[in-house]
Amino acid sequence: MYYLMKNRFLLLILIFFNQTSWAQSELQIRIDTDSKVKKSLSQCYFETVAVTTFDSEIENWEVCSFENEGRVLKISSYKNELYHEEMYVEINGDLVYAKETEKYIPHNHFSQMEWNCQFYTKKGKLLSLISLGHGKTEDENWDPIIIFAMYSKRLDEFNKIKK
């Protein structure tokens, strides 16, 4: 009996420390990625490089390239009092961070409500995400890996923009 209780106790301790370890490593991933993204953004001077109408919606594209095959794509639009922005950060040709933001902004007002989700990725895998505000992430049918399909679509659209 003592042996069984001891094993269960050890198992519980192992599970607890494993979860704590994952939480710490997930936090470390976010900290490291945030540091790289901040450094990358500090090297950027964004300018609107294109205005597109893919999917019949007017969108502004801003692009910044920096060392180590790095690039930042920012796409924004405003329709029906909703400001939408997507940002993708690539380092060494790999998507490492993405952020989607939606702000409810009635005409002639400041932002009334905001939702955003930050995605931390590596080699096509979602490592972590943080969502703030009320929005898509509250829908139980929402799938966070949709960010990869969105990113792929944006790359296709970017390649269609006439240089």
Q: How distant is the alpha carbon of residue 53 from its chain centre?
A: 23
The stretch 101-113 carries a mean pLDDT of 92
Q: Is the pLDDT at 20 greater than 50, yes or no?
A: no
pLDDT at position 160: 94
pLDDT band at 4 (very low <50, low <70, confident <90, very high): very low
Reported for 109-117, long-range contacts at CB under 8 A and 24+ positions apart, including other chains, are 111/83, 117/144
Question: Residue 52's CB: how many other CB atoms inside 10 A?
Answer: 16
pLDDT at position 125: 93
Least confidently predicted of 13-17, 49-53, 82-86, 113-117:
13-17
Contact between 72 and 159 under an 8 Å Cβ cutoff? The reply is no
44 or 59, which is more confident: 59
pLDDT at position 7: 58
Give percent of the chain with pLDDT exceeding 90. 55
pLDDT at position 25: 86
Q: Is the pLDDT at 30 greater than 80, yes or no?
A: yes
Burial annotation 22-40 (CB, 10 A radius, 16+ → b, else e): eeeeeeebbeebeebbeeb
Judging by beta carbons within 10 Å of its beta carbon (0-12, 13-18, 19+), is residue 83 exposed, middle or buried?
middle
The stretch 57-71 carries a mean pLDDT of 88
For the whole model, what pTM was predicted? 0.81
> What counts of helices (H) and strands (E) characterise the chain?
2, 7
Q: What is the SS3 assignment for 49-96? A: EEEECHHHCCEEEEEEEECCCEEEEEEEEEECCEEEEEEEEEECCEEE
